[in-house]
Amino acid sequence: MTRYIFVTGGVVSSLGKGIISSSIGKLLQARGYSITIQKFDPYINIDPGTLNPYEHGECYVTVDGMETDLDLGHYERFTGIRTTRNNSMTTGRIYQSVIEKERRGDYLGKTIQVVPHITDEIKNNIRSFEGTFDFVITEIGGTIGDIESAPFLEAIRQLRWEMGKNAISVHLTYVPYLKAADELKTKPTQHSVKEMQGMGIQPDVLVLRTEKHLSDGMRQKVASFCNVDLECVVQSEDMPSIYEVPVSMQRQGLDSAILRKFGIPVGETPAMLPWNRFLELQRSAKKEVRVGLVGKYDLQDAYKSIRESLNLAGIYNGVKVKIDFINSEDITEDNVAEKLSGVKGILVCPGFGQRGIEGKIIAAHYTREHDIPTFGICLGMQMIVIEFARNVLGYKDANSREMDDKTPHNVIDIMEEQKNITNMGGTMRLGAYSCNLKSGSRVADIYGETEISERHRHRYEFNNTYKEDYEKAGMACVGINPESDLVEIVEIPEKKWYIGTQFHPEYSSTVLHPHPLFMDFVKEIAKD
């Protein structure tokens, strides 16, 4: 029997519904249940793949090649599950599916309406995991009161009636602190719950986001005004780390309250030993190492998975990774030494478009010449390849076909099957692909195996025409896709740590299993 937990948010956005959903999933896993987590986003885009990172932050990619919201990264990092396209849905995809069915005549001439056709499509997607997992956690993006969210909330209302005791609602709200009055205010939470009730949904559990501790009396007040059991009112205070949240939720009995709502025996509270060991490592890490993040999106969420992967690798290496964002647009030949001063290594970030690429190339040149550990990911790897062509192979005009379609030395070129594609969305090389590692290479030693699979998100590739030139000059092509013969990984063996990957290893790094490339990179820079 599959049970459903619907997670919604009220008062303001950016409360951390993704963290709470992930924490609930982790706590249920610790009790031995199988779980998955879905994200339903109200925007009309088919997916976030064409959205500017400044608009939406990082675009996360599932193993089966779906471009999704960054919250799916939280789901995977916390729980270790592997999400697919069924774990992410947007208003755009819902409407697209309904319209395609209407065009085929599937509705037999009926007038297509939001209710029941759109809401039925939402419900079908929510129930797509029926019978596969013990619990399905469904997070609804946006904030209660947003007009875009109305069809999703109506679908949830219907499902709760249809499922009876097999579905509950968890509502996350904000309790603001007014400094002038020195008071925490619960009125916004009361209004948010009342709005939910007006839509026919009574929250079963309330999670109160707060910057200051709430007294039991205040929790009792919220419980009374919102028709929620006191044990089902928990607080989510600001924590030193997001990874402390599951433990805080367990301490307050959130998982126990959820099980009781479903009529499931609670039993003993699990110890969560691996998670707590990780937290102990995090608290005990004292030494600080600085890593330069060379990119063009000066927004923390734009490189969310990379930042988290570096932090996780630091914790397991016994250090705190301090990330210095270095805007590649500001890097020149004259100031590169100053810009990179103090960092023990750099990560050349992924991205799209020409803006900022010359700064990335200059940074890669500087770190190669000064033997500073360097990690290039996706476009970052391509910049490493271009830099090597210009300054070692002697092709001063070397470039990517993406940046200069007339370059005579297109060391990075567009894939043949991509040349006639006109649509931008969902048409890149996306998802997990196999990669064979060269025995004896640095990356093979790091992985501890020679056959791996990693996730991609790009359109341009290493040009194999130049492969022999690179190999002779000292840049080894050590990772190859067995089906297409495309180069996936390059490294310079004579350097301390100089590796570029065409794929995105950050998507596979989790709290309990940090990615080996990030682990080894941080290990190298933490040596001194």
**What pLDDT sits at residue 424?**
59
Please tell me the least confidently modeled range out of 252-266, 333-347, 424-438, 476-490: 424-438
Residues 146 and 293 in one domain: no
Residue 135, H or E segment: strand 135-140
Residues 382 and 407 in one domain: yes
**What pLDDT sits at residue 162?**
95
**What pLDDT sits at residue 420?**
62
Domain with 54 in it? 3-276
Is 463 part of any domain?
Answer: yes
- Which entry of 402, 461, 506, 515 is annotated as an active-site residue? 506
- Would you list the DSSP string of 343-359? -SEEEE----SSTTHHH
- Which entry of 117, 458, 504, 515 is annotated as an active-site residue? 504
Residues 464 and 508 in one domain: yes
Regarding pTM above 0.85, the answer is yes
Residues 250 and 169 in one domain: yes
Is 56 in the active site?
Answer: no
Residues 379 and 515 in one domain: yes
* Mean pLDDT of the region 186-193: 96
Determine the Cα–Cα distance for residues 210 and 236; give it in Å rounded to an integer.
6
* Mean pLDDT of the region 299-316: 95
Residues 297 and 271 in one domain: no
Is 338 in the active site?
Answer: no
- The CATH number that applies at residue 373 is 3.40.50.880
Contact 146, 182 (CB under 8 A): no
Residue 235 has pLDDT above 90, yes or no: yes
pLDDT in tens, 370-396: 999 999 999 999 999 999 999 999 999
Please tell me the least confidently modeled range out of 49-58, 149-158, 342-351, 515-524: 49-58
Residues 339 and 452 in one domain: yes
What average pLDDT is seen over the chain? 94
Determine the Cα–Cα distance for residues 343 and 323; give it in Å rounded to an integer.
9
Residues 190 and 292 in one domain: no
Residues 463 and 338 in one domain: yes
Determine the Cα–Cα distance for residues 331 and 397; give it in Å rounded to an integer.
19
**What pLDDT sits at residue 299?**
86
Is 18 part of any domain?
Answer: yes
Is 388 part of any domain?
Answer: yes
pLDDT in tens, 441-494: 999 999 999 999 999 999 899 999 999 999 999 999 999 999 999 999 999 999
**What pLDDT sits at residue 13?**
84
Is 506 in the active site?
Answer: yes
Between 299 and 463, residue with greater pLDDT? 463
pLDDT in tens, 219-229: 999 999 999 99
**What pLDDT sits at residue 352?**
87
426 band by pLDDT with thresholds 50, 70 and 90: low
**Total count of domains within the chain:** 2
Residues 205 and 104 in one domain: yes
Determine the Cα–Cα distance for residues 60 and 50; give it in Å rounded to an integer.
12
Determine the Cα–Cα distance for residues 17 and 24; give it in Å rounded to an integer.
10
pLDDT in tens, 80-130: 999 999 999 999 999 999 999 999 999 998 999 999 999 999 999 999 999
Contact 339, 490 (CB under 8 A): no
Residues 84 and 167 in one domain: yes
417 band by pLDDT with thresholds 50, 70 and 90: low
- Which entry of 349, 378, 435, 477 is annotated as an active-site residue? 378
